[in-house]
Amino acid sequence: MTKITSLRGLLIDELMDLYGAETQLTRALPKMAAAATDEALKQSFSWHLYETEGHVERLERAFSILEEPAKTKTCKAMEGLIAEGKEAVNEKGPGAVRDANLIGAAQRVEHYEIAAYGTARAFAELLGEMEVVALLTETLHEEAATDEKLTGLSKSVNENALHSFTV
């Protein structure tokens, strides 16, 4: 375990955690897209995979601005969230019910990321690292937009799930 002795050290640690989380997510999103039956939801997962690859790149740029090596740290929270996503992926019930489950799992991921990026951005702001703040803000906006999009999609998906049943 490393000893964190400063706010800068804490920012680097947050970025390493996010770098791990985003990398883990790039491996999970294709499976979520494949498991979704609703076409708009499938597309939204595929689009967010594309965005997530951009989030990884932004984090690499942030490390480079801070003159720190881009290292990942296994994000235990994301590991758990992805494990729950996997449960939704493997759910064998009606497609609409699985879709509703996938949206729930994906929104948990987004909320975690929004919290983590918000924390990292606040640290970067205090440290006067404004280029890093700008990068984190861009990603934060995309995570929030994804969350809103998922809420929008959940309206019809949940309605379909309500009327789905297996005999």
Instruction: Say if CB 8 and CB 63 are below 8 A apart.
Output: no
Q: Which residue is nearest to Fe ion (CB)?
A: 55
Number of residues that bind Fe ion (CB under 5 A): 2
Considering the complex, state which of residue 4 and residue 145 has its C-beta at the smaller distance from Fe ion.
Answer: 145
Considering the complex, state which of residue 57 and residue 87 has its C-beta at the smaller distance from Fe ion.
Answer: 57
Spatial distance between the Cα atoms of 63 and 121, rounded to a whole number of angstroms: 13
Considering the complex, state which of residue 75 and residue 96 has its C-beta at the smaller distance from Fe ion.
Answer: 75
Tell me the closest approach of the beta carbon of residue 54 to Fe ion, in angstroms.
Answer: 8
Considering the complex, state which of residue 117 and residue 123 has its C-beta at the smaller distance from Fe ion.
Answer: 117
Tell me the closest approach of the beta carbon of residue 119 to Fe ion, in angstroms.
Answer: 14
Exposure string (b/e) for 103-117, b if CB count within 10 Å is 16 or more? Answer: bebbbebbebbbebb
Rg over alpha carbons for the chain, rounded to the nearest Å, is 17
Tell me the closest approach of the beta carbon of residue 22 to Fe ion, in angstroms.
Answer: 5
* Segment 42-50 long-range contacts (CB within 8 Å, at least 24 positions apart): 44/146, 44/149, 44/150, 44/153, 45/102, 45/106, 48/106, 48/146
Spatial distance between the Cα atoms of 48 and 30, rounded to a whole number of angstroms: 10
Q: Does 58 bind Fe ion (CB under 5 A)?
A: no
Q: Which of residues 28-57 bind Fe ion (CB under 5 A)?
A: 52, 55
Tell me the closest approach of the beta carbon of residue 118 to Fe ion, in angstroms.
Answer: 13
The residue ranges that bind Fe ion (CB under 5 A) are 52, 55
